[in-house]
Chains A and B, each alone.
Chain A
């Protein structure tokens, strides 16, 4: 039998279902792997010691996984990687966690991230940075950096991350794994600690697109506890994977391949089109002339919502409280000033500014208008194409410490991922090569609203022809050397 950590989640699920391996064996393998990798990559904030489960009969029953630490787990510390939440242990499970457990998932722990999911490197965590298993002096991306690193290193077979502006797709690209942000509203946000509610969406990170399809089948579907949850059920992704892309019309937005894109990344992403063409897809370039507006629009809207969502952290109801306060207002201000990190405070300040009297129309309202323009541009693109192909990030993973000194520069690197959140569209990041430094490159397949199955199938077709997603970091943080 292949070493367990090299298997995809579905392969492990299959050997478990056939009885060739017991759920206890799978758990032991995960524990061993976490013990070997955690000190190098710091992917976990909390490691759990669960018992094997007898729940579930589906394709992922008994397969060990982990959750990003902004997803509520009953009685288990959920920190958002922030000092301000202290040892907060939620009194309830997120819907996503509940559905996974019912399907036989075993949760090995809670994964490191940028504080409150604000960041592109996982360096803003109060619990120290996560490191990229492919090169320990590099970031895993963010904000779901722990999730991508843990899957890349084979510590768990899949993980659930959250994506507000690219936080699943970009770390998946940097760590050489597959990560998907589903259509907004198809996965319940109940129990996800909110950053920007109109943009937040949870989704899977795993080795393969088929794994992602299997996870999505479990977590998607209407939830009355989330008012933005779409009516109906959108599953059946795994059973619809045919790998048949004959006649699929793929649009390549030329505006996503211009200045600022690393040439090795460009070449690898465009090669994905060739592979899909060889299987019968039709590829065409087109113009998407909104790209220069997506980053400012995103940061205005996301920061505005964050400034409102994060007002609940005040040192009264849960989490950490500062000392030495004079009165209630001082308790709030001291707790928040000492409890939030620099990037979170920057976004709260920015969000408060764009919502404040005198600036609301010029910034917040303007951003909502531009958001309408951006959505319309995608709507028009999807009248011509079934799917779009773009990079995930302009470069491969930067070194630790390189990004935080210039916040604006860090924001600009989110250019290819944020428009999907603004337009509510699904996107999947698939490994498509390595640069000359040996770092993974990701390509982004973008679907129309509720076209999740289309991009999963195209990603599956690509992974049928290539083995980039089967590569595993063989040194250092990956395999404990």
Chain B
């Protein structure tokens, strides 16, 4: 599998990463090497095999709908890099 720098640009955008020119060259080569190695899976015929996402048959685990106390707001805001008394602060996401 050939990995191009354009593909790396696109994957970096989706990953919210901004590699510089040097990192990009390195990532392209590394990804190509790793992805090419993964192509070994194509040797194995898996036609008709159901994909297995979870090893045990657990589905839709529900809990009873009981009210319990949530964390105090101050506790949750304490670790924020930027905050005011009641919210996380971040640059404006929508212009207007």
Contacts and interface: CB of A to CB of B under 8 A. Distances in A.
Contacts of B93: 328
Given A317-B79, A365-B51, A423-B55, A293 B44 contact: yes
Nearest to B64: A224
Given A230-B56, A349-B8, A334 B18 contact: yes
Interface string A204-237: 0000000000000000000010011010000000
A328 B15 contact: no
Interface in B20-52: 27, 30-31, 33-35, 37-38, 40-42, 44, 46, 49-52
Interface string A182-219: 00110000000000001000000000000000000000
B91 A325 contact: yes
Contact of A373 (B49, B55, B75): B49
Nearest to B72: A91
Contact of A424 (B38, B56, B91): B56
Given A337-B18, A349-B17, A356-B14, A296 B38 contact: yes
B90 interface: yes
A131 interface: no
Interface stretch (A58-66, A277-285, A307-315, A465-473): A307-315
Interface of A: 86, 88-89, 91-92, 184-185, 198, 224, 227-228, 230, 292-293, 296-297, 299-300, 307, 311, 314-321, 325, 327-329, 331-334, 336-337, 340, 345-346, 348-350, 352-353, 356, 363, 365-373, 375, 407-408, 411, 422-424, 449
Given A293-B41, A371-B52, A407-B34, 11 more contacts: A296-B41, A333-B17, A348-B15, A348-B17, A352-B14, A366-B46, A369-B46, A369-B52, A372-B51, A373-B44, A424-B56
> 6 tightest CB-CB pairs across the interface, nearest first?
A424-B55, A368-B51, A321-B81, A318-B79, A372-B52, A369-B46
